[in-house]
Structure 1
């Protein structure tokens, strides 16, 4: 009952007031997945900005620590961190993690090598003759995860950048990734000539929802989940979620020294 009274009090405070009177601090493991999550970006990226503000709505402050995806999942599972930012909804993860209410919905797509990749596709079974690059430890979607597990023509790389390099060099033919992240990495890390070697394949794989991942059975896991979901609801009612999305489109979160023109997408 005392905890519920605290929550009720902080829901009535503005974010600035809540920060000054925070009653709980959480540690969240995050990854470098620009422009959604990155320590080099404003507010640690778009998704992390939403996460920190949602918790602040309930008087909770958060501390992000950046690491690899594999380390983030392992550290949260062992109880070192209260949550992971962030993951797509994947059923196979539900045994170990709670998925929060959806933070956003993003397009999962294929980027392909223009010379060797397919021109169109309608089912995953059509892609078995192509070499698909995937990023180590990533779970993209339930359907795609099953395909990757049961297909011998997939090749694993340690990062999305390494996958894009392999795609450009023709080591692989096709690579699944969030549409905006793929575009952003190509703009940031590759030359115009290199970008000419790849194209976006239609149609998209799917639209996936993104979530805060809270390890089950660790600490106050249900309280952490409830606080975040309540704060997210408050941001939605206030119209803040639309504002965050507009900030993302305007390029607000990108590193000031590495400006990218989003209007040219």
Structure 2
């Protein structure tokens, strides 16, 4: 513990440029959640690009291994990985994981079947008459988690794509998902006729912050957390976060052959 405290004090004093070469390598469990995280995308996706660059700011290199969400959490709890990329802020998760400083803010919305779904909503209790699809093993917000436990009309599917199939076919009436992820899946895997049969409704469910998840109980847990937070802060000070957003909006992560200058200097 004394060594860790001494290092953290030195970390605040040493300029970032001093970390010219990698001195530490971390293993991070990740999932397929395009365009934020995906092994088929440039830099393993938008969020993983940010995580990689934040750690590089402190001389740390990372290696991502893709698996299901539940496998990622379980393997990281057991100490097989140093962190999980990535998760929304969930209070109940704090028993087992540290949340890093926020990486991004995402909007959680309801997609609905235009014919059978609600036109709007004000409280989750307004939706009890509708069949809501959720994705297996995925944590939404604390409020939705509580609603799912008590509502009689919840239908669980193995993937987001399966939920969109059910929504388009009328097997469910509404489905909560991150707005950008929903848009990406619909554009990538569904045709124009399918997309025309569903829509988002107001108001959005919430805006959630996203975080690197570092397991508690690891001897280096606070070191890893501090290194990442320091690197993330540096990226923000340099204005790099806006560049990542521009790359995301321009489709760079989906279409890496597109001529975009992503030199980090």
**TM-score over 0.5 for the alignment?**
yes
- Which residue in 2 is equivalent to 1:3? 7
Where 2:205 maps in the other structure, the secondary structure is strand
> Take 1:181 and 1:201, find their aligned partners in 2: how far apart are those partners?
16
Whether the 8 Å CA contact 1:41–1:254 is kept in 2: the answer is yes
Query: 1:256: Cα distance to partner?
Result: 4.7
> Take 1:224 and 1:40, find their aligned partners in 2: how far apart are those partners?
26
Where 2:208 maps in the other structure, the secondary structure is strand
- Which residue in 2 is equivalent to 1:262? none
- Which residue in 1 is equivalent to 2:261? none
Where 1:94 maps in the other structure, the secondary structure is helix
Whether the 8 Å CA contact 1:40–1:255 is kept in 2: the answer is no
- Which residue in 1 is equivalent to 2:110? 110
> Take 1:194 and 1:256, find their aligned partners in 2: how far apart are those partners?
27
Residues 173 and 257 from structure 1, CA distance in 2 versus in 1: closer, same or farther, beyond 3 angstroms?
farther
- Which residue in 2 is equivalent to 1:84? 84
Query: 1:95: Cα distance to partner?
Result: 0.2
Query: How do 1:200-239 and structure 2 match up within 5 A?
Result: 200-239=200-239
- Which residue in 2 is equivalent to 1:71? 71
TM-score using structure 2 length: 0.91
- Which residue in 2 is equivalent to 1:263? none
Residues 195 and 257 from structure 1, CA distance in 2 versus in 1: closer, same or farther, beyond 3 angstroms?
farther
> Take 1:10 and 1:179, find their aligned partners in 2: how far apart are those partners?
38
Query: 1:9: Cα distance to partner?
Result: 4.7
- Which residue in 2 is equivalent to 1:199? 199
Identify unmatched segments of 5+ residues in structure 2: 259-265
> Take 2:15 and 2:39, find their aligned partners in 1: how far apart are those partners?
28
Residues 162 and 255 from structure 1, CA distance in 2 versus in 1: closer, same or farther, beyond 3 angstroms?
farther
Whether the 8 Å CA contact 1:135–1:156 is kept in 2: the answer is yes
- Which residue in 2 is equivalent to 1:12? 17
Query: 1:252: Cα distance to partner?
Result: 1.0
Query: How do 1:1-265 and structure 2 match up within 5 A?
Result: 3-4=7-8, 5=10, 9=14, 11-13=16-18, 18=20, 21-256=21-256
Which 4+ runs in 1 deviate beyond 2 A?
A: 1-10, 255-258
TM-score using structure 1 length: 0.91
Query: 1:10: Cα distance to partner?
Result: 6.6
Q: Give the RMSD, CA atoms, in angstroms.
A: 1.7
The number of residues matched between the two structures is 253
Residues 97 and 86 from structure 1, CA distance in 2 versus in 1: closer, same or farther, beyond 3 angstroms?
same
Whether the 8 Å CA contact 1:23–1:59 is kept in 2: the answer is yes
Q: Residue by residue, what CA displacement relative to the aligned partner does 1:190-241 show, whole Å, maximum 9, x if unpaired?
A: 0111111111111100100000001111231111111000100000001001
> Take 1:52 and 1:96, find their aligned partners in 2: how far apart are those partners?
23
Query: 1:12: Cα distance to partner?
Result: 2.0
> Take 2:16 and 2:256, find their aligned partners in 1: how far apart are those partners?
33
